[in-house]
Structure 1
């Protein structure tokens, strides 16, 4: 997941002062990118301004240094839309930041693309569960180093497995519910579009 796409997605919500954008990454953004440093944000903004994806205007501050207000450009919007509509490739770990970031911006910009993201994720998790849930687990045929407690490793490993299996099942249930909600919303939008078309031709 490119940092550029995340910044574009955030700027699609509203213009940001550089400082406010830093605060966003410190709070909401921590669930998308771990330990995003402020210098990374400003370097990325400078690069995106240079490439025409973002622009800024100066916000004069009396008695303080002037601030820059960054906003997405039309070119930036097209790059963002190209990303949300591009093929989504699930990662091996469920509930990874790749899905969460992609879905949160896509559902706000293109509902049909968001449905594809959800269905792709759901299909991948179902296949993953089908192939890994029944795998042999444990420590068979190993030669551990001195001090490595294989019994404890196996006991707690099983607890992690059960927790993970339950979490994946709940994740797939959530994806199913989101898929149902999006399908219903798309049907409503289609019905509204059909009604508007009929009224214009009447």
Structure 2
């Protein structure tokens, strides 16, 4: 996932000062991209301004350095929508940052794209669960090296497996719930559009 896409998504919500963007990455954004340094943000913003994806106004401050207020351009919005609509490929880890970021921005920009992302994630996780729940776990077919506690490894590995299984099941239930809500929202939007056309 390109840092550009994250910044475009954030700037699609409202204009931000550079400092506000830094604070966003320290709070909500930490779950999307960890350890984002302010120099990375400003370097990426400068590149995006140069490429016409973002523009800024100068906010004069009395007794303080002037601040730049960044906003997404129409070109930037098109790039963001193209990314949101591009094919989503799940990774082996569920709740990956690419899913979370695509989904949260797609839901407000293109709910149909959000539904495709959820459907892709659901299909992948169901197949992953079907494959992995029946696999042999632990050390199979070889003697462990001297000093390696195989029995303890197996016990704690099983605890981790149980936790992971429960977490994936909860993720699947959440995806199903979100999918149902998206379908209902899309049906309501279609009904409203049809009603507006009939009255026009």
Structure 1 gap segments, 5+ residues each: none
Instruction: Work out whether 1:120 is the aligned partner of 2:120.
Output: yes
Report the 3-state secondary structure (helix = DSSP H, G, I; strand = E; otherwise coil) of the residue aligned with 2:142: coil
Report the 3-state secondary structure (helix = DSSP H, G, I; strand = E; otherwise coil) of the residue aligned with 2:152: helix
The equivalent residue for 2:23 is: 23
Instruction: Work out whether 1:159 is the aligned partner of 2:156.
Output: no
Query: Where has structure 1 moved over 6 Å in runs of 4 or more?
Result: none
Deviation at 1:142, TM superposition (A): 2.8
- 1:62-77 superposed matches below 5 A: 62-77=62-77
- 1:1-202 superposed matches below 5 A: 1-200=1-200
Report the 3-state secondary structure (helix = DSSP H, G, I; strand = E; otherwise coil) of the residue aligned with 2:58: strand
After superposition, give the CA deviation of every residue in 1:155-180 in whole Å (9 maximum; x if it has no partner).
Answer: 00000001101110111011000000
After superposition, give the CA deviation of every residue in 1:66-90 in whole Å (9 maximum; x if it has no partner).
Answer: 1111000110000001011111111
Give, in whole Å, the separation in 1 of the partners of 2:197 and 2:82. Answer: 28
More displaced 10-residue stretch of structure 1: 134-143 or 186-195: 134-143
More displaced 10-residue stretch of structure 1: 148-157 or 138-147: 138-147
Deviation at 1:199, TM superposition (A): 1.3
Give, in whole Å, the separation in 2 of the partners of 1:140 and 1:76. Answer: 52
Deviation at 1:144, TM superposition (A): 3.0
TM-score by length of 1: 0.97
Report the 3-state secondary structure (helix = DSSP H, G, I; strand = E; otherwise coil) of the residue aligned with 2:184: helix
TM-score by length of 2: 0.98
Please give the root-mean-square deviation of Cα atoms over the aligned residues, in Å. 0.8
